[in-house]
Structure 1
Amino acid sequence: MERIYYAGDRFLTGTDIARALVAYAAALAQQGSAGAIEIPVRHEQDGRPGVVNFLVGPASQLVTESVEADGYDEVRDEALVARLQGLIAELAPMHPVASTSAPDRDTVDYDWTDEV
């Protein structure tokens, strides 16, 4: 379980969710952009579940720490984690990839004797 500190408040959520949220905030910050994302949380005061909408980006002051939350089940949302990972991948800079294979010379359909 992770405790998220955000905007003067704190919330408990699952470890995978918290780590994906921080990675998403970092990806947005690298792009100079911001985004809003809702994540499931557990309020520490009474243990009730809830949903918090986080605005994350370059100015986000978002901190997480691992905690032992006695009596509370780990908050899980695999679909949300996958969605965050997809958003992070979309924000990643594109890098060209060199092919390691040689072209198949038998399939080149160009007559080198043609005049230009």
Structure 2
Amino acid sequence: MSAAALWATVLAASLACFALKLAGHLVPEHWLADPRVARLTSLVTVALLTSLVVVQTLGAGRGVTLDARLPALAVAAIALVLRAPFIVVVVLAAATAAGLRWLGWG
């Protein structure tokens, strides 16, 4: 891909993101007051965050890889279920990944 095509793609994506954000601000208030819309928007947020976590945990280029990130995510999930403070969750997950990598896995 040439540099011009790359910049054109970046600019087009930026404009699309800006237009989408602007459209969100222009939606009438009463549309958002509907309980079904509120429920749907909360579910979309969770779905997007979940897909991001899965891609970042299992993704490696165009394939799927199982390395130290997966057990670290499991430890973080357990810590969250046990209502640990967020910083503790992050430290436990990082320590798990670092320990497994130090042992040669991932």
TM-score, structure 1 as length reference: 0.23
**Which protein has the larger Cα radius of gyration, Structure 1 or Structure 2?**
1
Structure of higher RCO (CA pairs closer than 8 Å, 6+ residues apart):
1
Larger helix fraction of residues: 2
TM-score, structure 2 as length reference: 0.25
